[in-house]
Every structure is written in C-alpha cells, then in structure tokens.
Structure 1
Amino acid sequence: MSHYDDEQQAEVVKKWFLENWLALVAGLAIGLGAIFGWQGWQSIKQEKSAEASRMYEEARQALDSGDIEEASALAAKLSDDYSGTPYDDQVALLLARYHVDQGELPAAAEQLRSVVDGNADEPLKQVARLRLARVLWAQDQTEEALAELDAGGSGEFVSLFEELRGDIMLTQGDRAAARQAYQKAIEAGNEAAANRELLQQKLDDLADVVNS
C-alpha cells in the first residue's frame, strides 16, 4: 500500500469520526450510565434488604419479650416501606404464631391471610395457607378451612394439605373421605418424611372403611 493510500484512508477515518463523534460520545455515556445505574440500584436493594432484615430481627425479639405493640409497629413499617422484601411476610408469620399462642385466632387468621393474598413467593404462600386452614378449623369454620385446602397444595405441600383434610373430615364423621385424603397424603409424601409413620397409623386406623 502506498503512502498516498495511507493518507487517503486516514482522511476517511478522520472525516467519519468528525461526522459521528457526538453519537459515539453519547453511546459511551449511555453505556456507562447503565452500568453505574445498575450498580447503584443493586446497592440500594442490598441496603433496603439489610434494613428490613434488621427490623424483622427487632420484631422477633419484641415478640419474644411479649411486646406486641412494638412488634406490630415494626410489622406495619415493614409492610409500608419494605413490601418488596421477604421480611414483610416473615414477620406476619411471626405475628400469626404469637396470636395463636395467645389464643387470638381471628388476629392470627388476619396475619396469615395477608401473606396468602400478598406478593410472597409460592412456597411461603402455601405455608401460610396451610396454617390459615388450621386456624380456621380451630374456629369451627370448617368449610372455609376446606376451601383453603382446595385452593392450595402443590408439590411437596400436597401431602401436608391432604393430611389436614383427612383430619378435618374425620372430625366431621366422614371416615371414608378421611381415609381417601390420608391415602393421597401417603402417595404424595416423601418416604423419609417426618409425618410418614403417623400418616400410616391414621390410615391403618381406618382400614375398616376400605370397601365402604
């Protein structure tokens, strides 16, 4: 390639740069802005999660000491300002357990309902729904409890949902439906599950209704 060709090529590059430098600079700025913007957003999310974690721990300690007012205030703040974190739902479960221990079942059901109807991930929702069904059953709201069991129970939770259904049906005097539910629970459960032996015992106790 001649010296003239080199100079001509250099002129072409120079001309192209002069015509496009603004777009290049803008593109670079946008790219850097996106990088730093993403990093900033991640930092904010981490800080928010850390603060929510701290408040959850404070609420747990307040409940351990019996300070329901402080725990409720922290729960309300988590719900208002940190609803995008898992700690909002976790503290609701803590409050529900506290209310159950105090015999305050309607208050417990309200906390559990907030998790079921909220933005929690599906496994946590199923935990809350199962507990809600138990609380409703304890209040003699049998139909409502069964409706919760009908609405949930997938994956690893099927066994637990069906076992509770069997317990409810047994207290209603429907031994055939109870056995059917226990059988489903056995089939859906893990052979190493902690409730496996008890489930089998419940099923064996209803052996007389197999052919009914």
Structure 2
Amino acid sequence: MATPLDLQEQEQLDQLKHFWNTWGNLITSTLLVIALAFAGWNGWQYYQRNQAAQAAALYDTLERNVEAGDPAIVERTLGEMKDRFASTSYAQQAGLLAAKALHDKGNADGSRAALTWVAEKAVDPGYQAVARLRLAAELFDSKAYDEALKQLGTAFPKEFEPLVADRKGDIYMAQGKRDEARTEYQKAWTGLEPRNDYRRLVEIKLNSVGVDTQSLKPAAPKQS
C-alpha cells in the first residue's frame, strides 16, 4: 500500500509539476535540437570520411592510368574526380597530376584545362598557386606572354611571391622589356632564402641584365 505524501513532499511535487508545465516543452525541444545536431554532425563526419576514402581510391586509379600512358583515360578519370569529389584535396592533386601527364603526352589543351580548373576551383591556395605558375609556364612556352602575365597578376601566398617574380622576369625578357625583367629578378632574388639553391639561378639571370647581387639587400631572415 502506497504511503501518503506528507505536506512538504506534496508541495515539492506540486512545484516540480508547475516547473515542468512551464518549461517542459522548451526543455524537450532543446534536447531534441541538441540530439539532432549531434546526429547531424556524426553523419557529416561519416560522409566526409566516406568521400575522402572514395576520392583516394579514384586518385589511385588516376595514378595507374597515368602510368599506363593513355591521355583519353586520364582525362576521363579526372572528369569523374571533378564531378564527384571536386571539394577534396585529392581532386586538386589529381588536376595537377593529370596536367603533367597530358603535357608530357603533347596534349597542351588538356593540360591547360586541368591547370585552369585547379587554379579557379581549388580550395587550397597552395594548389592554386602551383597551378597558376605551371599554367603561366606553359603559356610562356607557347609565346602567349600576355596570357601568362595575366595568370601571374592575381594574389599569391607570400611564399610563392619570389617564384612569381622570377617567372615574370622571364616573360619580360622574352618580350624585350629588360628593365621590367631586372626589377622582377631583383624581387625574386631578395625574396628567396640565401640557402635556397634556386636563388643561384636567379642570380645568374640578374648578372645577365647587368646587376651585381652584392649591391642588393639580402632576404630578411624568417621569424621562428
């Protein structure tokens, strides 16, 4: 037989009922939102992991196709990567890999299309920078100097700026613009670390336009 509640217990029970009647719906809704958000987050994490795994598998396929040396299959595999996994880092790497393979096979249009896609669509600014530098190099080789300079006219991460300046210097030299080339080579030389082997190549270019690098301000040491 149930024991009757005393006056204090009954009062506490009434207070609890009043509290729940007042705030119960809000509490329930809040808990439901939290639960749905948690479930959604877990679902998104699973989706991301699944996408990355599938993208990695397709990238491996692209690598095998590159080794096989069939440009048509390389382009088709890259197209599938772009359609299905464009937002992943694997797609950006795939674009650069496919571009090199297509360029080596003499497919200039396919290579430039792949590099243009990475330059315009890549999420990582590093991949974008590499794509623009390589695209500028290919345009330079085909004597499309203005188009090459256009690719180098956008903002680049700071660590790429010396390479951009060096590439601009090459283009200006090809156009017969010696003064502009000298300015860009100086930017490249001062921006590169003294221990960087590439700096020696830029120094040779500077010497060819009459600049003694001993007169230039050395690159400032990087802060740790």
Same fold at TM > 0.5: yes
Q: Distance in 2 between matches of 1:150 and 1:19?
A: 63
- Residue pair 1:129, 1:152 contacting (<8 A) in 2 also: no
Question: Cα distance, 1:139 vs. partner?
Answer: 0.9
Match of 1:82 in 2: 85
Aligned CA RMSD, in angstroms, stands at 2.1
Alignment of 1:30-109 (within 5 A): 30-109=33-112
- Residue pair 2:58, 2:81 contacting (<8 A) in 1 also: yes
Moved more, 22-31 or 184-193: 22-31
Note closer, same or farther for the CA distance 1:143–1:176 as it changes in structure 2 (3 Å cut). same
Note closer, same or farther for the CA distance 1:154–1:40 as it changes in structure 2 (3 Å cut). closer
- Residue pair 1:175, 1:209 contacting (<8 A) in 2 also: no
- Residue pair 1:158, 1:189 contacting (<8 A) in 2 also: no
1:62 is aligned with what amino acid? N
2:24 is aligned with what amino acid? W
Q: Distance in 2 between matches of 1:30 and 1:15?
A: 23
Q: Distance in 2 between matches of 1:22 and 1:149?
A: 59
5+ unaligned residues in a row in structure 1: which ranges?
none
- Residue pair 2:182, 2:209 contacting (<8 A) in 1 also: yes
Question: Cα distance, 1:190 vs. partner?
Answer: 2.3
- Residue pair 2:71, 2:105 contacting (<8 A) in 1 also: no
- Residue pair 2:165, 2:188 contacting (<8 A) in 1 also: yes
- Residue pair 2:206, 2:212 contacting (<8 A) in 1 also: no
Match of 2:15 among 12, 16, 23: 12
Match of 1:197 in 2: 200
Identity over aligned residues, as a percent? 27
2:117 is aligned with what amino acid? S
Q: Distance in 2 between matches of 1:115 and 1:188?
A: 26
Matched, 1:134 2:123: no
Q: Distance in 2 between matches of 1:68 and 1:201?
A: 37
Moved more, 63-72 or 17-26: 17-26
Question: Cα distance, 1:5 vs. partner?
Answer: 4.5
Q: Distance in 1 between matches of 2:27 and 2:155?
A: 54
After TM superposition, the score normalised by the length of structure 1 is 0.88
How many equivalent residue pairs?
208
After TM superposition, the score normalised by the length of structure 2 is 0.84
Deviations 1:146-174 (A, max 9, x none): 12112243401110011111112222222
- Residue pair 1:167, 1:178 contacting (<8 A) in 2 also: yes
5+ unaligned residues in a row in structure 2: which ranges?
1-5, 214-224
Moved more, 194-203 or 55-64: 194-203
Match of 1:114 in 2: 117
Alignment of 1:112-191 (within 5 A): 112-191=115-194
Moved more, 125-134 or 151-160: 151-160
Q: Distance in 2 between matches of 1:103 and 1:71?
A: 13
Q: Distance in 2 between matches of 1:47 and 1:118?
A: 21
